[in-house]
């Protein structure tokens, strides 16, 4: 019978998501890692900056181990969305380095405490939370933003997959994927013509 190490499992999935996020910046220009590619401004370096703050907040301040490498953008007097984009004077090296240090600090917290250790989320009304809950949250949070990075990177230069070599993607060259996309588009258009939209229910 195989034993379980819940902390190790959670940390493995967290680290995997961290690695995916960072490789999405590899090989891109300063402009491409910063440019907004959704109406709400989602961009690759901003995702890294946001998660640096999250790692510092959840694994640092929450457990009385403040991380000295950054202000916590999600608290205090920071301007709205300051954690979601990088100014021109904030270099790639600084932001990525900050994220790596915040993650290393987080790993020290994870290693030092049991899963049932209780921390207090900072704020006007501090909330108690266990390390287990924080780890689970950060796995979900980082995987979610790694998914955002997947889409943004594909929009930038077509690169896909969980690894730089395209791993975790179904096989197919550019022509095959173009054919797949066309097939999906035709199905969507056909469904639209059938009037399946909820907003059109009851209309004639």
Contact criterion met (CB below 8 Å) for 71 and 57? no
- pLDDT tens profile 80-111: 788 899 999 999 999 999 999 999 999 999 99
What residues does 118 pair with on adjacent strands? Answer: 130
- pLDDT tens profile 19-69: 999 999 999 999 999 999 999 999 999 999 999 999 999 999 999 999 986
Candidates 22, 165, 164; CA nearest to 93 is 22
Contact criterion met (CB below 8 Å) for 41 and 81? yes
CB environment 56-70: b (16+ within 10 A), e (fewer): bbbbbbbbebebebb
- pLDDT tens profile 103-135: 999 999 999 999 999 999 987 788 999 999 999
Cα gap 149→65, rounded to integer Å: 29
Instruction: Match 């258009």 to its residue by tokens.
Output: 189
Contact criterion met (CB below 8 Å) for 52 and 100? no
Using CA atoms, how far residue 49 sits from 30, 43, 65, 79, in Å, is 15, 10, 20, 14
């Amino acid at each position: 019978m195989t034993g379980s190490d819940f902390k190790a499992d959670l940390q493995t999935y967290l680290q995997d998501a961290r690695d995916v996020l960072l490789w999405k910046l590899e090989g891109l220009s300063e402009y491409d890692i910063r440019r907004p590619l959704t109406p709400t401004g989602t961009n690759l370096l901003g995702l890294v900056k946001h998660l640096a703050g999250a790692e510092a907040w959840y694994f640092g301040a929450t457990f009385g181990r403040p991380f000295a490498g950054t202000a916590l953008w999600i608290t205090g007097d920071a301007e709205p969305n300051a954690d979601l984009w990088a100014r021109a004077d904030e270099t790639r090296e600084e932001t990525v380095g900050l994220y790596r240090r915040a993650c290393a600090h987080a790993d020290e917290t994870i290693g030092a405490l049991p899963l049932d250790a209780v921390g207090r989320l900072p704020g006007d009304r501090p909330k108690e939370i266990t390390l287990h809950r924080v780890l689970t949250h950060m796995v979900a949070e980082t995987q979610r933003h790694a998914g955002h990075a997947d889409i943004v990177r594909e929009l930038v230069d077509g690169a896909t997959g969980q690894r730089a070599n395209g791993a975790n993607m179904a096989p197919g060259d550019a022509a095959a994927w173009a054919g797949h996309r066309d097939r999906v588009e035709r199905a969507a258009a056909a469904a639209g013509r059938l009037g399946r939209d909820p907003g059109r229910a009851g209309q004639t």
